[in-house]
């Protein structure tokens, strides 16, 4: 479900992030495996997820895409900041566009995960409107249900969204 929500956000925010389609594969890997580190330890599981992605044998996926997906998964939690030392290890491989993509995709993944906070699929769809200096995200809830918990959690990413996209985030 997190994958579907993150892809919806990616497509609807294309006018802002302007990332090429190749990053969809990266977002897919990161969104499907972002919580895999919980099998190791809940606390700081995003770092364990990053390690798992980085050291996995996903056949047919270029190593660069695995590295970017690992950094996206590592940055999907509010308490996690990707260190410059970690990025420096892959400086030969990553371009400035890749580093910017990591920031932007991490925020998308964080919001998508927030929309599935209860893990019950309450938020079924998303509609984004870019108006002036704001992005308004309208959530579609299952059977007109209450998704206030998910919206409140997603709004915690507003500061990171502003830093990555230069726009204010409003969620309805």
> Model's pTM, two decimal places?
0.91
pLDDT of 41 over the 80 cut: no
Q: pLDDT digit string (tens) for 44-80?
A: 777 788 889 999 888 999 999 999 999 999 887 765 5
- The strand pairing partners of 140, in sequence order, are 125
For residue 151, what are its two tokens?
């919206």
pLDDT at 85: 79
Number of CB atoms found within 10 A of residue 9's CB: 23
Which runs of consecutive H residues, i.e. helices, occur in the chain?
A: 2-12, 14-17, 23-33, 45-54, 63-74, 84-88, 96-114, 148-155, 158-165
pLDDT at 80: 54
Q: pLDDT digit string (tens) for 107-122?
A: 999 999 999 998 888 9
């Amino acid at each position: 479900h997190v994958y579907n929500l993150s892809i919806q956000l990616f497509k609807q925010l294309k006018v802002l992030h302007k990332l090429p389609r190749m990053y969809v594969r990266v977002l897919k890997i990161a969104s499907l495996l972002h919580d895999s580190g919980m099998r190791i330890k809940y606390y700081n599981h995003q770092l364990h997820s990053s390690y798992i992605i980085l050291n996995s044998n996903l056949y047919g996926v270029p190593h660069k895409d695995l590295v970017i997906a690992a950094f996206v998964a590592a940055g999907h939690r509010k308490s996690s900041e990707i260190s410059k030392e970690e990025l420096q290890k892959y400086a030969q491989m990553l371009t400035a566009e890749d580093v910017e993509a990591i920031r932007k995709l991490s925020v998308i993944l964080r919001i998508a995960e927030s929309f599935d906070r209860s893990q019950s699929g309450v938020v079924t769809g998303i509609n984004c409107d870019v108006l002036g200096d704001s992005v308004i995200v309208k959530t579609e809830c299952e059977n007109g249900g209450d998704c206030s918990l998910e919206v409140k959690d997603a709004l915690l990413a507003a500061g990171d969204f502003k830093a990555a996209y230069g726009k204010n985030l409003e969620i309805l």
